[in-house]
Structure 1
């Protein structure tokens, strides 16, 4: 599906329950003209029957490492197309290619691949790169390879000038030199995220003042409450839940977090600030027992989850975002509109892409996912081209 850039299409999605943006629900048609949501189209749009289905913006995944045996630190464009296509078929029409900690050379090569794909418009679902690491706290590194963690000053030099397509960086804001890196990235329009970090509330406050705006996967790689003597000191987790005006992620794959923690995150942040992410790795779509790599680390697929080789840490997930969407609703009982917001508008805002992505408002890209009552993906449209139905109009 990636391959040569697809021509934009014209379509009218009819008779569905439409959720075009947060807090809005209607019954009717969505018109896509030459790849963009419009009020009308005079080019004989292809009819798409959505009777009995939910019509939502295409899903937006801002934290995804790979799929189908391919990791995005592999600079081979063919590997990137495999990953993008796998997630597209599962309803993710916009994603940030997330690079786990690895060697500087491999990271630079992957960034060059992303730049080439974006420049050539050869990967229409690729919205940029999310660099997760290597400036992470060793004690909170999770599945990241300790040998490939590095200091902010080194990474600042490597990211100057800024690589094309870099849209988000996750780092530990308490590290020496992180202030300069945060200020530089934020000044260049890159979203800065705190994650795999032993930060305190004061560290997060300082980072926010420098431009940090996002928090990676809550409860995964975050320092928590301590009580050195008498008084309790909040860690990054508690500071995240008490924060204002920042977005945050949860991985609702049914393995990372139990229902109670997902419910706490939603109550604290609300759907306007809580993002669903897949954190999907190369293990997505592979059978239990299969090994894979994510960045410089190795993982093994188990029944519904992935773990490091020594089984000491979860190693991302093996679950596409659409399945996290359904599990979030099942585990928390959140309203449908709220769950969809967390997988569309909120991550799009966190990445600076809304409303062109994450909405079906006039002027948005014509990326649509049709969902059954159980939130299973039935059909996907990418910029007005129907992709998944038998006999559907080809994407190219």
Structure 2
């Protein structure tokens, strides 16, 4: 069926188009045009002056809707994915936090099954750990980290096809060879939970660690040891031209000043926004059974309030947070669509409203809430409040 969306403010790679329309048929965008005349035979969607933007690419989320991907069940995967779809994530790379390799293999099997389904929003698996610096891993990964094991990861990756990103601490013995191996397989290697300083980050980048996970979080900044001062991981990443970053832009993990600083120094092309969401994201009414955590102030905290336990953000929250921080809406949209699509290697079909790309399209109201969403041309259940 030919569908035409009119009467909206359309975000294109060239900027905002105030008068025009988006045409889609089946799962593809046929045209983004400056003509808003209704086409005979097309199903007409009136955007009522709202924003028409590309679907969001979720490249770092551990769960949602009350379920976690580490459960390694099909039901958990489907529930969490559906929860994030309702908030604009038309494409998703489920994130598996530090887990035994037996569980990683289970997650691989489930992910490959979902990826094989028609018009699937699942584009690959993201693995964070278990090769992480225990000192920097925090409560979330306590007791779940280990040293780099070449035989272990090569055995897995020689048989798995769905892993598209893997995060590790570059200072661990064997981590640089791990990054080189990932690079040879076309897998994104990201530094995570690290205390590496400039020389270590430089070596890591040259080896293939080209991305920094949850930038600023679980990594030190400028610091002092005795009478001397040293650059931290944060400053080192800033100095590495071409190294991309991701920000947990929930308004809690990073203040607006730091969001603006990262945007200013790294730029839209090297910055993407992630939820890093736990199971409690988009989980209204779900009982928290873990006595060690509480939900408060829009974030998950340790029960004693000693630290943050994780994010409960969704992708639409990230956009609203950045705009509130003073970032232009168009740039915020790019950081949840175009930039992550390019970083994850799916830019040929995802990330922008262009002819022949997948029909992943959102309509946002003036408060930047999702009013309608199409994933591969299919209306996402629970988002059709526009009509």
TM-score by length of 2: 0.91
Q: Is residue 2:15 matched to residue 1:12? A: no
TM-aligned CA distance change 1:259 to 1:314, over 3 Å: same
Question: Separation in 1 of the partners of 2:310 and 2:285?
Answer: 15
Do the aligned residues in 2 keep the contact of 1:67 with 1:282 (CA within 8 Å)? yes
TM-aligned CA distance change 1:90 to 1:315, over 3 Å: same
Which runs of structure 2 are paired with 1:292-307 in the superposition (5 Å)? Answer: 299-307=293-301
Q: 1:104 aligns with which of 98, 101, 106?
A: 101
Do the aligned residues in 1 keep the contact of 2:179 with 2:209 (CA within 8 Å)? yes
TM-aligned CA distance change 1:221 to 1:354, over 3 Å: same
Larger deviation: 202-211 or 175-184?
Answer: 202-211
CA-CA distance at 1:207 after TM superposition: 1.5
1:160 paired residue number:
157
Do the aligned residues in 2 keep the contact of 1:276 with 1:343 (CA within 8 Å)? yes
TM-aligned CA distance change 1:285 to 1:160, over 3 Å: closer
CA-CA distance at 1:246 after TM superposition: 1.8
Which runs of structure 2 are paired with 1:74-153 in the superposition (5 Å)? Answer: 74-121=71-118, 124-153=120-149
Do the aligned residues in 2 keep the contact of 1:289 with 1:302 (CA within 8 Å)? no
2:35 paired residue number:
none
Q: Is residue 2:59 matched to residue 1:62? A: yes
TM-aligned CA distance change 1:186 to 1:37, over 3 Å: same
Which runs of structure 2 are paired with 1:240-319 in the superposition (5 Å)? Answer: 240-286=237-283, 290-291=287-288, 299-319=293-313
CA RMSD after TM alignment: 2.4
TM-score by length of 1: 0.89
Question: Separation in 1 of the partners of 2:54 and 2:248?
Answer: 20
Q: Is residue 2:173 matched to residue 1:176? A: yes
Do the aligned residues in 1 keep the contact of 2:371 with 2:385 (CA within 8 Å)? no
CA deviations over 1:109-140 (Å, ceiling 9, x no partner): 1121101111234x711111111111111121
TM-aligned CA distance change 1:268 to 1:36, over 3 Å: same
1:4 paired residue number:
none
Q: Is residue 2:294 matched to residue 1:335? A: no
TM-aligned CA distance change 1:242 to 1:11, over 3 Å: same
Do the aligned residues in 1 keep the contact of 2:9 with 2:16 (CA within 8 Å)? no
CA deviations over 1:53-107 (Å, ceiling 9, x no partner): 1110001111111111100112221211111111111111011101111222222
TM-aligned CA distance change 1:267 to 1:391, over 3 Å: closer
Question: Separation in 2 of the partners of 1:289 and 1:82?
Answer: 12
Question: Separation in 2 of the partners of 1:258 and 1:390?
Answer: 32
Question: Separation in 1 of the partners of 2:358 and 2:226?
Answer: 55
CA-CA distance at 1:310 after TM superposition: 4.9
TM-aligned CA distance change 1:183 to 1:26, over 3 Å: farther
Total equivalences in the alignment: 379
TM-aligned CA distance change 1:337 to 1:22, over 3 Å: farther
CA-CA distance at 1:200 after TM superposition: 1.4
Larger deviation: 101-110 or 65-74?
Answer: 101-110
